[in-house]
Amino acid sequence: MMNWTTPPYLLDGRASVRRVMLQVLVGLLPGIAAYVWLVGPSIVLQLALATLSALAGEALMLRLRGKPLSLFLGDGSAIVTAWLIALTFPPLAPWWLVVVGTLFAIVVAKHLYGGLGQNPFNPAMVAFAACIVSFPALMSQWPALGLKLTFAEQLSIIAGLAPRVDVMSGATPLDAIKTALKLGAGTVDVPTLLATQDVFGNFAGRGWEWVTTGYLLGGLWLWQRRIITWHAPLGFVCGLSLLAGALWLWNPQGFASPLFHLFSGGAMLGAFFIVTDPVSGCTTSRGKLSFGFLAGLLAYTIRVFGGYPDGVAFAVLLMNLCVPLIDMYTQPPIFGMKNER
């Protein structure tokens, strides 16, 4: 909001970076609350580790670049990146993996490109992609369904004081359905899997349905607060649902329904908190819609036909490359001039 009463027409504070980032963090809280209920307090520890690492990396780079610490360190952008990294990494990942991923996002993906507002790629998704390529085994160790650990036991695993045994790792719903269909080679169908395996709930992953619902509620709250627009989230949901729905109608035994894909993996987190990034995403309304739609198509293609259980991170990074082209072809004509394209 602009104050037009007196010069110099400065921002009144309601649209500052700090206030926007704070509201994004608040929007993540419903999903985090469901996450804590599902896996325990380990995710809070990972959020704290990522936050401290992000602030330390941010302070170091600001000092090296000669920027004022108080101005940029308190804008909240580093904390938002840290939280997105912690929420996309396994909750029992070793502490150093979260620290390395967060520092890579802040130092390499953000500050080496010029800092806030200059990075062409989403820093959190760069960290996820770099770590899942470099440490695929650790990035695949999600807690087994029904595994009950005390906070002390979770802390020991994260700190590396307790051995990481196989019973602590379980397949995610996306990984479970892909592996079962691949091993079954046509003898196992999706409806049977969803009805017989404990990892699946009513329409997606058991328990994870509530986590993604929390992200959905938080994202809708951000839209209601006008922190984000509807274009990119709607485009992402439509792109993912369109391809998932077409293949599901064509072969319901070999493909899961759109509802399953929307409430599994990082779909809702990606739709409302990742593709809406104003720096690495498109700026025009039509561009945001196109960006989200194509990212949804790519995410589904990678998670179903690719080598990774979820494709949101890689889809977003690939679309980040296309942002200048999309913006160029979706710019509205200048007022009073005819659009010659």
pLDDT digits 0-9 by tens, 272-325: 999 999 999 999 999 999 999 999 999 999 999 988 878 999 999 999 999 999
- pLDDT for residue 193: 63
- pLDDT for residue 302: 94
Task: Calculate what percentage of the chain has a pLDDT beyond 90.
Answer: 57
How many other C-beta atoms lie within 10 A of the C-beta of residue 245? 16
CA 229 remoteness from chain centre:
17
Please check whether residue 234 is in contact with residue 289, taking contact to mean a CB–CB distance below 8 angstroms: yes
- pLDDT for residue 167: 47
- Per-residue pLDDT tens digits for 179-236: 766 665 555 566 666 666 667 767 777 788 899 999 999 999 999 999 999 999 999 9
How many other C-beta atoms lie within 10 A of the C-beta of residue 160? 11
- pLDDT for residue 189: 64
C-alpha R_g of the chain? 21
- How crowded is the C-beta side of 249, counted as CA atoms within 13 Å? 5
- pLDDT for residue 219: 97
- Per-residue pLDDT tens digits for 118-174: 999 999 999 999 999 999 988 988 887 666 778 888 888 888 887 765 545 666 777
Give the range among 82-91, 204-213, 246-255 with minimum mean pLDDT.
204-213
- pLDDT for residue 9: 45
CA 75 remoteness from chain centre:
20
Closest CA relative to residue 271, chosen from 320, 323, 216, 223: 216
- pLDDT for residue 12: 47
Task: Calculate what percentage of the chain has a pLDDT beyond 70.
Answer: 84
Answer yes or no: is pLDDT of 40 > 70.
yes
Q: Exposed e or buried b for every residue in 32-67, given b needs 16+ CB within 10 A?
A: bebbbebbbebbbbbbebbbebbbebbeebbeeeee
Answer yes or no: is pLDDT of 255 > 50.
yes
pTM (predicted TM-score): 0.89
- pLDDT for residue 106: 97
Answer yes or no: is pLDDT of 4 > 50.
no
Tell me the pLDDT of the chain averaged across its residues: 86
- pLDDT for residue 8: 46
- pLDDT for residue 6: 43
CA angle 124, 304, 230 (to 5 degrees): 50
Contacts of 272 (CB under 8 A, 6+ apart): 27, 215, 216, 218, 219, 220, 222, 223, 228, 233
Place of tokens 């409302």: 272
Q: What CA–CA distance (Å, rounded) separates 258 from 244?
A: 5
Q: What CA–CA distance (Å, rounded) separates 308 from 40?
A: 26
